[in-house]
Amino acid sequence: MIPFIKAESLVHEYSRRDEEGNITGINRALDGIDIEVKAGDFIAVLGANGSGKSTFAKHLNALLVPTEGTLYVDGKDTSDHINDLAVRQSAGMVFQNPDNQIIANIVEEDVGFGPENMGVPTEEIWKRVEESLKNVGMYEYRKESPNHLSGGQKQRVAIAGIMAMKPKCIILDEPTAMLDPKGRESVIKTVKELNIHENITIILITHYMEEVTAADYVYVMADGQIKMQGTPRQVFARSEELIKYKLTIPEVTKIALALIKKGVKIPKDILYVEELTDILLKLKARQ
């Protein structure tokens, strides 16, 4: 089967320029990325600031083209500009700041904007708007002004706007960076549901380790390279490396590791509070 996304030795170099526009140096932001994503997968890309995550996201949306190597999205070579529209239709992008993505004064009009631009017939637009807003749990807010919504609600409206264009894949570049914990949780839950119920391929870019537990598979980036990959559990068990790449591991994993250091016999890949409490209660019962 052809993977939905396939990056092979993908390199991106930015040129550094002085005030006159002369190139003074090269900044290698992606340094040989190999990634394969199957349709329907939920992938997380984790990395500290400056590791190359947004540069990679822009490649997935054909906003940047490879300096070296190749990238295929939905079978289309992103280095050929002829494919730009098709790539963007296959893979919609949600950005960090919800305020920069919402354009209309009424939620339902905002969600209808994308399909309208694509020339979708009016009746079909309203059907899609209704469906998308229901999918992200924002249908009851359809007549409201986006200005009155919380950050998390705005991000869900932005996701509905992408859904209304019927993409196969949604790329989210740090969609929760500006949200409070409740908003973060609601966005991640929404994304997970779209993956499970609508079979939308998800690429979630984040530096919050807690969020990647929702993913099937995690790539860890540093210095423009993929340094680690595996299931969330496999990755979280390698805490020393994660700390080396300036990532903070979940509090509950830290507590578990501290207990292990003190000689408590528990697994080192604990991700959830309930998991740790259950294990500790079982240990206690045995004493």
What residues line the site for ligand ADP (CB under 6 A)? 14, 27, 29, 47, 49-55
Report the helix count and the strand count for the chain, using DSSP H and E: 10, 10
Residue (of 200, 204, 215) closest to 169 by Cα position: 200
Copy the structure tokens of residue 287. Answer: 């004493």
We find the least distance from the C-beta atom of residue 30 to ligand ADP, in angstroms, to be: 8
Closer to Mg ion by CB, 95 or 139: give it.
95
We find the least distance from the C-beta atom of residue 93 to Mg ion, in angstroms, to be: 12
Residue type for 91, please?
A: A
If you search the block for the tokens 């680690």, which residue do you land on?
Answer: 228
**Cα separation, 138 vs 132, whole angstroms:** 9
Paired with 46 in beta bridges are 206, 220
We find the least distance from the C-beta atom of residue 282 to ligand ADP, in angstroms, to be: 40
Closer to ligand ADP by CB, 78 or 132: give it.
78
Closer to ligand ADP by CB, 58 or 142: give it.
58
Distant-in-sequence, close-in-space partners of 232: CB < 8 Å, separation ≥ 6: 44, 212, 213, 215, 218, 271
We find the least distance from the C-beta atom of residue 9 to ligand ADP, in angstroms, to be: 18
14 binds, among Mg ion, ligand ADP, none (CB under 5 to 8 A by kind): ligand ADP
52 binds, among Mg ion, ligand ADP, none (CB under 5 to 8 A by kind): ligand ADP
We find the least distance from the C-beta atom of residue 286 to ligand ADP, in angstroms, to be: 45
100 binds, among Mg ion, ligand ADP, none (CB under 5 to 8 A by kind): none
Closer to ligand ADP by CB, 3 or 50: give it.
50
232 binds, among Mg ion, ligand ADP, none (CB under 5 to 8 A by kind): none
Binding residues vs Mg ion (CB under 5 A): 53-54
For residue 188, the 8-state DSSP code is H
Closer to ligand ADP by CB, 220 or 257: give it.
220
Copy the structure tokens of residue 218. Answer: 């995690």
- Alpha-carbon distances, residue 80 vs 71, 74, 91 (angstroms): 10, 13, 16
47 binds, among Mg ion, ligand ADP, none (CB under 5 to 8 A by kind): ligand ADP
Strand order in the sheet with 68-73: 23-37, 5-17, 68-73, 76-77
92 binds, among Mg ion, ligand ADP, none (CB under 5 to 8 A by kind): none
